[in-house]
A and B are shown apart, each in its own frame.
Chain A
């Protein structure tokens, strides 16, 4: 493993000088493969860096990377770090998304981050130019592709980014946020490297590891585990597109087999999706015996999903011990815990009634009526402290459920240009995660969430954003839609459920309206709607202050459903 340097461009330069011909990334997009050497990455990045510099980008300026999966997505990101700028990757505009809605959320983000340059796919770049050039701080909107310029690239050691300090900002990670309030998690180079120096030993990482990933780079799991970690630690990354994977989930397994992949990170639903959506014909000759850790991360972990996955692929050489777990958040760069590397993942069997009723994880015994399995996320990393507190912030004892709070040496500097959100999340130096859980024998168990946040296929989705989209559909009573998550055990993840009050005159056109609502959600967000119930006026429960109560309406829907099921 190469020694960890102190900033991203320093490590890039170091690798460029030491091992320029080493393959750093293998892109498997569509059909075929393309190997990118360290030289390709550095020189590709330098091409972008020269253009950023040409438009006057200075250290600390933000660069927004909106490209589709491919080499240019990586070059544009790394190029920003060479000039000391602060890159951030956002989802690119797919044909599914409503361009107006996408533009609206991008406008908000641009107002907040004041980027110096944007890089986007050509069709969209033209629109962005018309919209943003000369109107603010945006100096350039770049297309992907070979960089023009002609003149030779400057001396690699001359880049300004090589002279920024370790406390300078390295990148922003944007968590999806409620409309207009996206939060850019601002991380310094020091934070990124402290994360790696704690996380790599916990993974038993070595330069012979091969990471295989289809995760999008606009989420922390993809950006850190599925890009920067192998790039900075030295090792090979095999990178697939999330768009290909979802249409052909076997592509992940075939890539692991072809490249002797050792490490992958997956959200829980992907275990179910792979286990149930891969035809036998696609597994002929697939050998998964090299896969030493398949790490479940970024949404609630379900023991049944692990069992399903292990059983399905055992015949292809998958070891049961390869199943691993991790608790991570962008605010900590990425991982805060790691389980399943030193020893198999601990599944804690506890009394379901005591857990729900008293907030206590009482180990199940022969007399327990309802046993619940809680999957351990493993012990905290060496540099992370995790505590559990009650509503007043007082520490709770082992096996008592409360909010998880985190302190580490690799936390965010703050939310970019959002001192309000920073103060709220980090008041006393401990980051309030909003996750509920408990500690037992030094391991961390997540049991739920304090906030209304839904996690759908590993994506954080706020109910308010979906309600906003539904409220704009003609025929819906504005302000009379409620959205919440419902766990679907077959899918291994939450589904987005909605209850919507409609005018009584509309009832004859329910089919049309429900299609319109589904379409509004599909094109306006990253998710599709699961269960949708259209109800008459006054179905929804409100709080005393007149606000629609999500949890109460969720309970009401579930109770109605149980009654219906009981009746049939």
Chain B
């Protein structure tokens, strides 16, 4: 697990899922399942922007953009390369 994944896991664990960070299944749907609710989405986007310098527009905060931890990691990595 790299530092990016670790920080993201820790954030989701503490703020949304209240689980030990290593117990979040990487493919667990988070948005479509409602586990990360809409009130936490704007937080998550602000966190991703400030921590990783990656902007996720509010119009993108839906399962079509990312749903699981894996997908979010991929999104961040792709945008960081751009």
Which residues of chain A have a CB within 8 Å of any CB of chain B? 30-31, 95-97, 243-244, 246-249, 273, 277, 279, 457, 511, 514-515, 518-519, 522-523, 527-528, 531-532
* Among B19, B34, B58, contact of A522 (Cβ-Cβ < 8 Å): B34
Residue pair B20, A511 in contact (C-beta under 8 Å)? yes
Q: Assess whether B38 is in contact with A277, with CB atoms less than 8 Å apart.
A: no
Q: Are A247 and B61 in contact (CB under 8 A)?
A: yes
Verify if B8 is at the interface (C-beta below 8 Å from A): no
- Bound-state CA distance A248–B31 (Å) is 16
Contact status of A515 and B38, CB under 8 A, knowing A95-B63, A277-B43, A279-B46: no
Q: Is the beta-carbon distance between A96 and B23 smaller than 8 angstroms?
A: no
Taking a contact as CB atoms under 8 Å apart, the answer to whether A523 and B20 are in contact is no
By the criterion CB–CB under 8 Å, are B41 and A523 in contact? no
Tell me if A246 and B28 are in contact (CB < 8 A): no
The 4 residue pairs across chains A and B that have the minimum distance between CB atoms? A522-B34, A511-B23, A248-B58, A528-B37
**Nearest opposing residue in chain A for B39, CB measure:** A246
Question: B18 touching A531 by the CB < 8 A rule?
Answer: yes
List the A side residues contacting B59 at CB < 8 Å.
Answer: 30-31, 247
- B74 on the interface (CB 8 Å rule)? no
A contact residues around B28 at 8 Å (CB)? 515
Taking CB atoms, residues of chain B closer than 8 Å to A244 are 58
**Chain A residues with Cβ under 8 A from B42's Cβ?**
246-249, 277
The answer to whether B18 and A528 have CB atoms under 8 Å apart is no
Could you give 16 example pairs across A and B, Cβ below 8 Å?
A30-B59, A95-B32, A95-B62, A96-B33, A246-B39, A246-B41, A247-B58, A279-B46, A457-B39, A511-B19, A514-B18, A514-B19, A515-B28, A515-B35, A523-B34, A531-B18
Contact partner of B38 among A247, A279, A519, A523, CB < 8 A? A247
| B58 / chain A contacts, CB cutoff of 8 Å | 244, 247-248
Give chain B residues whose Cβ lies under 8 Å from the Cβ of A511: 19-20, 23
The distance in angstroms between the C-alpha atoms of A277 and B25, with both chains bound, is: 28
- For A524, the closest partner residue in chain B by CB is B34
Contact indicator per residue, chain B 27-54, by CB within 8 Å of chain A (1) or not (0): 0100111110111011100100000000
Cβ contact of B18, chosen from A95, A527, A532, cutoff 8 A: A532
- Please pick, from B31, B33, B38, the residue contacting A243 in the complex, using a CB distance under 8 A: B38
Contacting A at CB under 8 A, from B49-81, are 58-59, 61-63
The answer to whether the Cβ of B26 comes within 8 Å of any Cβ in the partner chain is no
A523 CA to B25 CA, complexed, in Å: 19
Q: Quick one: closest A residue to B45, CB to CB? A: A247
Q: A96-B37, A522-B35, A531-B18 are in contact. List 14 more A-B contacts (CB 8 A).
A: A30-B59, A96-B31, A96-B38, A244-B58, A247-B41, A273-B39, A279-B46, A457-B39, A514-B19, A515-B25, A518-B35, A523-B33, A527-B37, A528-B39
Q: Contacts of A515 on B, CB cut-off 8 Å? A: 17, 19, 25, 28, 35
Chain B: CB-nearest residue to A491: B39
Q: What CA separation (Å) do A246 and B45 show in the bound complex?
A: 12
Structural contact, A96 and B19, CB atoms closer than 8 A:
no
Q: How far is A246 from B17 in the complex, measured between Cα atoms in Å?
A: 19
Bound CA span A511–B33, Å: 16
Q: Chain B residues near A523: list those with CB within 8 A.
A: 33-34
Q: Considering the chains assembled together, what is the distance between the CA atoms of A531 and B18 in angstroms?
A: 8
What residue in chain A is nearest B60 (Cβ atoms)? A247
What CA separation (Å) do A335 and B61 show in the bound complex? Answer: 35
How many angstroms between the C-alpha atoms of A528 and B17 in the bound complex? 10
Instruction: Say yes or no: A518 contacts B17, CB within 8 Å.
Output: yes
Chain A positions within 8 Å of B37 at CB level: 96, 522, 527-528
| CA–CA, A249 and B31, complex, Å | 19
The distance in angstroms between the C-alpha atoms of A518 and B61, with both chains bound, is 20
| Bound-complex Cα distance A522 to B17 (A) | 12
